[in-house]
Amino acid sequence: MKGALYMDDINDDRWHVIDVSDSSSKPMELEIKTESGDISPFKIVNLSDHEEELCNKLVDACKHLEKGRGNARSGTGDKGVMFGIGRRNGGGNNHFHELFAISDPDAKGYNREFTEKYCIATWSFSRMMKRYFPKQLSSYKEYEEKKGIFPSWQMGGLHGLTCSGDVSVNLCNAEHLDVNDADIGVSIWVEEEKNNHKNWYILLPSTYASSDEKKRPIAIKVFHGIFMAWDGRKVRHCTSYTTLLGKNNVYGCFFCVTNR
């Protein structure tokens, strides 16, 4: 149901579960059938072994985020929090010239520990994109250059990906579209204590894989180091309710260019 949180355990009866957590899993590209009937590609890659340094850098940065309060998607009924980082829309002719407070050294809400470490992590993320998804990285750069937008140092400067991004912390949210995106988005998920969780999934409730005869909605098992690329403007998506074990925290790091 649109607007609802998915609190129950995910199972194969209700969902078409996709699991690439085995280290030998090959990159997967799905053809997603959206609710409008369109076909939209969805890429899934296990980077846990090949990009361990990147994953560790992201964890090292994200663990400095406040767990109880974010600055994005407030009032939506989400569990967990999300942070907008880097440049934001300043309105009028000041698009993308203001910084989110978390990224602004002159703001009261500046988080120096997170920002400095996340800057370094974005350099590794950009290098990963050059290896695996060079066309997508070039698309981001070309779009922002045409708009006259350049990433701040907080987002890696010219060696980063995009001028802004989002990071989620222990998030469970309702299905939605990313209506402000201007391109395909890319994301990677990491956690502080590997495999110390239950029921961590990205859900595509209003879609199904064209190869699935049962036409079940899709559930993608999330783990430390999983990377995904999809068009959030067309494919409704959300995160399941995840049971965290021990002292674990789970993070989603999202990058895209935006149209606002």
> Which DSSP category does 154 fall into?
G
Whether residue 95 has pLDDT greater than 70 = no
Please give the tally of structural domains in the chain.
1
Does 1 reside within a domain? no
Q: What is the pLDDT of residues 24-76, one digit of tens each?
A: 778 899 999 988 889 999 999 999 988 999 999 999 999 999 887 777 766 56
Determine, yes or no, domain membership for 8: no
CA dihedral of residues 146, 148, 153, 155 (deg, nearest 10) = -50
Average pLDDT over residues 142-162: 89
Residue 5 lies in a domain: no
**Residue 7 covered by a domain:** no
pLDDT in tens, 103-119: 999 999 999 999 999 99
What's the pLDDT at 98? 81
At 83, which CATH number?
Answer: 3.60.130
Q: Which domain holds residue 153?
A: 16-255
Whole-number Cα distances in Å, 192 to 69, 79, 92, 128, 211: 19, 19, 40, 21, 35
Q: State the pTM of this model.
A: 0.94
- Look at residue 97 in the predicted model and tell me its pLDDT: 60
Whether residue 3 lies inside any domain: the answer is no
Choice between 132 and 18, residue whose per-residue pLDDT is larger: 18
